[in-house]
């Protein structure tokens, strides 16, 4: 078994609920979406990666493991393209397993044997050039409900752009609220796109977005701190 790997590195988690924690990142090559705000464009194609076995990945992880690191973050690209590979790596480590996913492959996500945290992106129409494919949102909902039904730790991340409209954002959040089986413990992270210098009146807009989500879910607004710290 092999999978295309872009890089394996140690850094601080720059996004979401585990922000600031030291993690080892395993970045897969290949993605089933083409988001216009993607900051890892080199990982979209499987041709960008080097084929590695689970054992080779584990060896690289152990080389850079430090005492302050407790988690492996599988990211991409789209890591859920490789569920068996992730499961195989997870069997041979005591580190926590985090999946950073677009959530559009629910069956694959459901088949990953061990997940300690899932960061699931909710895509907005503004994230794509051209017409928005409604199946993306429907599969994200399906993934969320599968994870919640198994009592997995999961939160949603929504990247907002300077072009994101409150009206369309509210429609997505309302649909999310209507279709989640148990939303009591689900938290939404609003993530303004980087660089923050591209925004005008960012404070006012962020308050508005937060108020929309707060009607239905717990909400936090967190920028990408690894960009602010200028680290990978």
Task: Tell me the C-alpha distance between 9 and 61, whole Å.
Answer: 8
Structure tokens at 113: 């044997």
pTM score above 0.75:
yes
Contact between 97 and 61 (Cβ < 8 Å)? no
159: phi then psi, degrees, rounded to nearest 5 = -80, 125
Structure tokens at 200: 């005008």
pLDDT at 196: 67
- What domain range includes position 100? 3-229
Task: Tell me the C-alpha distance between 117 and 210, whole Å.
Answer: 23
Please state whether the peptide bond connecting residue 64 to the residue before it is cis, i.e. omega within 30 degrees of 0.
no
Position of tokens 């717990």?
218
| 134 contact partners, CB below 8 Å, separation of at least 6 | none
Structure tokens at 148: 């919640």
**CA torsion angle 123 126 132 135 (round to 10):** 10
Residue length, the chain?
A: 232
What CATH code is carried by the domain that includes residue 196?
A: 3.20.20.70
Neighbours of 169 (CB within 10 A): 21
Contact between 2 and 58 (Cβ < 8 Å)? no
Count of structural domains, the chain = 1
**CA torsion angle 74 110 21 7 (round to 10):** 0
Q: Return per-residue pLDDT of the chain as tens, 232 residues.
A: 999 999 999 999 999 999 999 999 999 999 998 888 777 777 788 888 999 999 999 999 999 999 999 999 999 999 999 999 999 999 999 999 999 999 999 999 999 999 999 999 999 988 888 888 899 999 999 999 999 999 999 999 999 988 898 998 999 999 999 999 887 789 999 999 876 667 666 666 889 999 999 999 999 999 988 877 877 7
* 54 three-state secondary structure: helix
């Amino acid at each position: 078994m092999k999978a295309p790997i872009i890089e394996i590195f140690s850094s601080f988690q720059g996004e979401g609920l585990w922000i600031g924690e030291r993690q080892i990142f395993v970045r897969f090559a290949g993605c089933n979406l083409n988001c216009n705000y993607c900051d890892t464009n080199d990982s979209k194609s499987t041709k960008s990666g080097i084929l590695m076995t689970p054992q080779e990945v584990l060896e690289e992880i152990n080389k850079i493991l430090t005492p302050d690191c407790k988690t492996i973050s599988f990211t991409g690209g789209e890591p859920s393209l490789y569920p068996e590979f992730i499961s195989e790596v997870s069997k041979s480590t005591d580190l926590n397993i985090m999946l950073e996913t677009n959530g559009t492959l629910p069956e694959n996500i459901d088949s990953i044997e061990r997940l300690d945290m899932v960061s699931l992106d909710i895509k907005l129409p503004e994230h794509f050039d051209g017409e928005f494919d409604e199946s993306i949102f429907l599969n994200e909902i399906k993934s969320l409900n599968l994870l919640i039904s198994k009592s997995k730790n999961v939160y949603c991340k929504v990247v907002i752009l300077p072009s994101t409209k409150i009206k369309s954002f509210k429609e997505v959040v309302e649909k999310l609220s209507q279709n989640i089986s148990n939303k009591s413990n689900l938290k939404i992270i609003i993530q303004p796109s980087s660089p923050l210098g591209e925004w005008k009146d960012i404070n006012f807009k962020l308050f508005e977005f937060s108020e929309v989500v707060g009607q239905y879910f717990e909400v936090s607004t967190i920028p990408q701190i690894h960009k602010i710290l200028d680290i990978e």
